[in-house]
Chains A and B, each alone.
Chain A
Amino acid sequence: MSAIVSVKNLRKSYAGGFEALKSVSLDIEDGEILALLGPNGAGKTTLISTICGITVPTSGSITVGGFDTQTQFRAARSLIGLVPQEINLEPFETVMNSVSFSRGLFGKPRNDAYIEDVLKQLSLHDKKDNKIMTLSGGMKRRVLIAKALSHEPRVLFLDEPTAGVDVELRKDMWEVVAGLKASGVTIILTTHYIEEAEAIADRVGVINKGEILLVQDKADLMAQMGQKQLKIELAEATATIPDMLAGYDLERAGDGMSLTYSYDTKGERTGITTLLNDLQKAGLQMKDIQTQQSSLEDIFVGLVKETS
């Protein structure tokens, strides 16, 4: 696969010296869904804004579809649709006019049939003649998406599309995103919701303090860093971990009623069988056992902690 968006050594510092992006390099593959995770102020929005032309890079280069966003901005921006984080809409306009306006800005001739199709996909069609000020928050967010899709972009940036959105609408949006991916659109979304990245992304990028910490295939990432925990509940409390179990690096709960064993699911041997045997030999009676897999959230929190 080839990169449709290529960011090289991108730096962005603001007047006053704040460095929002520190030499960011990132290739986004054609047709993928990339989720950018990061805490508030990590530089997610700055990165998107700089690719889309809203802010000017301090140094470095960005190409979209092979076009430089500075010197060939028309060709580059024509390929991009942007759904901003804030709900920024002209309140007095109708949905239809507002979405058609976006299409026109991108130089495309008015095409009501296409716009109506987009509105139908987003369950907005029955609101097309309503003024935007009369819509609910969730509906307004759909309008923002419709505006971004109005000019048939090849790359879609969704900046926290589901922040403050109810569960049903979030699921709807995931469906829309899946539909867009199926039609060949590359999607970059930033999110706070890790389950969102887990649910829909092909690759996950983690950004913190203006630096990309990692970009990896979601499944690989979870497999590589995914550790499982085996929690063993005991019938009777144990005051210490018996010496013969010292090699397992067990963690004893405060009340001594349970032991936790961490192991790598991808490892040659998990060591579970021998542990269970040794537990019996040591005279500990098991009441129950359960396993837990670390989520993307644990991985994310771990990474961000390391850098701060």
Chain B
Amino acid sequence: MNLNAVWTIYVFEMRRFFRTITQSLVSPVLSTSLYFVVFGAAIGSRIQEVEGVSYGAFIVPGLIMLSVMTQATSNASFGIYFPKFIGTIYELLSAPISFLEVVMGYVGAAATKALFIGIIILITAFFFVDIQIAHPFAMMAFLVLTCISFSLLGFIIGIWADNFEKLQLIPLLVITPLVFLGGSFYSITMLPPVWQTITLFNPVVYLISGFRWSFFGAADVGIGISLFAIALFTGACMAIIWWIFRTGWRIRQ
């Protein structure tokens, strides 16, 4: 295992994050604050409690997940797409490193960035609403797992994309709707029965539900099912990445 290479890629990627620190951190904090003002304070004040929790607090886990998923995906996809775009990928391909090490470096960095943003949003939330975290360790575990799994997904998108449009396409057309429809801002029990069933096909539901359980001790779906769903998703992404490197798809002809 070439750990030096993993660390080198990780540090290089993290430096990009810190170079654009204002953009990286200010924008999620600002947009989250706006969500709290609009949904938490303005609209939330007219909504009763959801599952025994004030609406402002109820949306915190969903908001964190929304940002973490989109940030992890876009960071990881950009991270590996950029070297392809500017041609520096030749260095990765000619270095004595395995695909596992490349993935660990890029996905590790993207997941770390997403984790930073998730924690910053959580801290911001404390300024707006009164929240308690029922299972802090489970909360961190869910957060970390989500960061990693969506960074893996982003990595796949970055390898697949051969132009900037495609790079934006999946996050915009797939992830954002899935997250919004996955119960970020509502409990799926609030939906009509037919839609409740349909929603169960949305993998994001399980992630948000599990994450919300770690805050409030209550969830739309069982915690075991949530864990299984995130494990399945992570496993699927890993399998696809393994296949990509084994066949050299879109990177090594």
A-side residues, CB < 8 A to B, are 14-15, 52-56, 73-78, 80, 82, 84, 86, 88-93, 97, 100-109, 147
CB-CB < 8 A to B97: which residues of A? 74, 105, 107
28 A-B residue pairs with Cβ-Cβ distance under 8 Å, sorted by A, are A15-B253, A52-B93, A53-B252, A55-B253, A56-B253, A73-B96, A74-B2, A74-B98, A77-B96, A78-B96, A80-B94, A82-B94, A84-B87, A88-B90, A89-B86, A89-B88, A90-B82, A90-B83, A91-B86, A100-B8, A101-B12, A104-B9, A105-B8, A105-B97, A106-B96, A107-B4, A109-B4, A147-B91
Instruction: Note all chain B residues with C-beta closer than 8 A to A93.
Output: 12, 15
Q: How far is the CA of A75 from the CA of B96 in the complex (A)?
A: 7
In the A-B complex, the 10 residue pairs with the smallest Cβ-Cβ separation, listed nearest first, are A104-B8, A88-B87, A105-B95, A74-B96, A77-B96, A52-B94, A107-B2, A54-B93, A107-B4, A78-B96
Q: Are B252 and A105 in contact (CB under 8 A)?
A: no
| Partner pick for B94 among A14, A53, A92, A97, CB 8 A cutoff | A53
Taken together as a complex, chains A and B put the C-alpha atoms of A100 and B12 apart, in Å, by 10
B233 within 8 A of A: no
Provided the pairs A56-B252, A101-B12 are in contact, do residues A82 and B86 lie with their beta carbons within 8 angstroms? no
Interface membership of chain B positions 72-94, coded 1 if the CB is closer than 8 angstroms to chain A and 0 otherwise:
00000000001100111011111
Tell me the minimal C-beta distance from B88 to chain A in angstroms. Answer: 5
* CA gap between A86 and B88 in the complex, in Å: 10
Nearest CB on B from A164, distance (A): 16
Known A-B contacts A104-B5, A107-B96; A54 and B86 likewise in contact (beta carbons under 8 Å) = no
Q: Chain B's nearest CB lies how many Å from the CB of A74? A: 4
Chain A residues closer than 8 Å to B86, beta-carbon distance: 88-91
What is the minimal beta-carbon distance from B81 to any residue of chain A, in angstroms? 13
Please measure, in the bound complex, the distance between the C-alpha atom of A238 and the C-alpha atom of B93, giving whole angstroms: 66
Q: Output the nearest chain A residue to B19 by Cβ-Cβ distance.
A: A92
Chain B residues within CB distance 8 Å of chain A: 2, 4-5, 7-9, 11-12, 15-16, 19, 82-83, 86-88, 90-98, 248, 252-253
Set of chain B residues within 8 Å of A107, measured between Cβ atoms: 2, 4-5, 96-97
Chain A residues whose CB sits within 8 angstroms of the CB of B82 once the complex forms: 90
Bound complex: CA of A90 vs CA of B88, how far in Å? Answer: 7
With A54-B252, A55-B252, A97-B15 given, is the CB distance from A104 to B7 under 8 Å? Answer: yes
With A56-B252, A107-B2 as known contacts, state yes or no: A77 contacts B94, CB within 8 Å. Answer: yes
Chain B's closest residue to A72 (CB) is B96
Residues of B within 8 Å of A100, CB to CB, are 8
Complex contacts, B92 vs chain A, CB 8 Å: 105
Which residues of the other chain, A, contact B88 by a CB distance below 8 angstroms? 88-90
A70 to B98, CA, bound (A): 12
Name the one of B11, B15, B91 contacting A102, with C-beta atoms under 8 angstroms: B91
Residues of B contacting A80 in the complex (Cβ-Cβ under 8 angstroms): 94
Give the complex CA separation of A239 and B109 in angstroms: 82
- Note all chain A residues with C-beta closer than 8 A to B96: 73-78, 106-107
CB contacts (< 8 Å) of A82 on chain B: these are 90, 94
Which B residues are in CB contact (< 8 Å) with A55? 252-253
